[in-house]
């Protein structure tokens, strides 16, 4: 998928500001070995550490209303405290439509370009951010909790296909009394078992205690789906959803989704 050249928006944990048009680099800059450098041409000076650090990362996203994977990547960057510029790929793009309609064999958005590297797939982005900013706490400090966090995040990443197809993310929509069929209901029940176990074991209000982690970013779109489709929850899981939906980064995303002009009839008219 060619990188977008649309207008980007610089964002950080503390706010949002307009940025100039940015073209996402296609990959690390080519390095010419000294032995092959043309005669008389000096070596390019490397960026200073301060200059390189000041250059923001670029997070490529698709629809904020429909794309659960874009939301996950965005939340991970926010939780890690990484300053980003957002680049958007329109939902009209054929490859993006295929991803949103679950017709694609792989998902290339969200995509993070940072420090000359390109990282795609939400779990790969999460692991990169954890290595970059371990102090942010995307993964718990305790080894057992960290393994648990990775396990349930991986389960969300690879599973729950019935939930995805029957209850697609649509932040703008509301379907009160929505009928959930057997396959999706089994996925919902499994997710609630995961949430209850985490909340009981680690004390809440987030899945692994007092602060949100990778797991919360992975399950945040489920909280949105449960709201859209009026899924009935017990007190602990309802409180967890409320906590996640009140997260500042989640509210920021929701506001943008409600203002988004993108429409996909396939995800709007079937219900």
Instruction: Quickly list DSSP for 182-201.
Output: HHHHHHHHHHHHHHHHHHHH
The residue that leads in pLDDT, 240 or 99, is 240
pLDDT tens profile 46-75 = 444 445 456 789 999 989 999 999 999 999
Q: Which residues 6+ apart lie within 8 Å of 47 measured at CB? A: 55
* Residue from 268, 73, 86, 44 nearest 173 by CA: 268
Mean pLDDT of the chain: 81
Question: For the CA atoms of 208, 209, 210, 211, what is the dihedral angle to 10 degrees?
Answer: -10
Instruction: Name the packing angle between helices 214-228 and 235-245 (round to 10°).
Output: 100
Give me the residue spans of the domains in the chain: 9-32+54-135, 139-268
Contact 68, 169 (CB under 8 A): yes
Q: In angstroms, rounded to a whole number, what is the distance separating the alpha carbons of residues 183 and 220?
A: 21
Which fold does the domain 139-268 belong to in CATH? Answer: Glutathione S-transferase Yfyf (Class Pi); Chain A, domain 2 (1.20.1050)
Could you please state the CATH topology (level 3) that the domain comprising 9-32+54-135 is classified under: Glutaredoxin (3.40.30)
pLDDT per position as a tens digit, 241-252: 999 999 999 999
Per-residue pLDDT band for 25 (boundaries 50, 70, 90) equals: very low
């Amino acid at each position: 998928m060619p990188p977008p050249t649309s207008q980007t928006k610089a964002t950080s944990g503390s706010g949002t500001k307009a940025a100039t048009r940015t073209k996402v680099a296609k990959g690390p800059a080519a390095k010419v070995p000294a032995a092959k450098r043309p005669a008389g041409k000096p070596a390019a000076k490397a960026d200073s550490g301060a200059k390189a650090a000041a250059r923001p990362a670029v997070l490529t996203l698709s629809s904020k209303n429909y794309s659960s994977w874009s939301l996950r990547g965005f939340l991970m960057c926010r939780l890690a405290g990484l300053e980003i510029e957002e680049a958007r790929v329109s939902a009209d793009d054929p490859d993006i439509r295929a991803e949103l309609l679950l017709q694609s064999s792989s998902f290339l958005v969200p995509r993070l370009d940072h420090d000359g590297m390109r990282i795609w797939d939400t779990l790969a982005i999460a692991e990169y951010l954890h290595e970059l900013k371990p102090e942010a706490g995307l993964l718990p400090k305790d080894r057992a909790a960290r393994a648990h966090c990775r396990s349930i995040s991986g389960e969300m990443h690879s599973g729950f296909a019935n939930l995805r197809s029957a209850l697609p993310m649509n932040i703008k929509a509301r379907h009160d009394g929505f009928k959930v069929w057997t396959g999706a209901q089994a996925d919902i029940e499994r997710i609630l078992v995961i949430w209850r176990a985490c909340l009981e074991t680690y004390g809440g209000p987030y899945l692994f205690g007092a602060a949100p982690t990778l797991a919360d970013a992975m399950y945040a779109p489920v909280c949105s789906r449960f709201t859209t489709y009026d899924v009935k929850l017990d007190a602990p899981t309802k409180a967890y959803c409320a906590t996640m939906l009140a997260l500042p980064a989640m509210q920021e995303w929701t506001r943008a989704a409600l203002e988004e002009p993108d429409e996909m009839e396939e995800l709007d008219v079937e219900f």
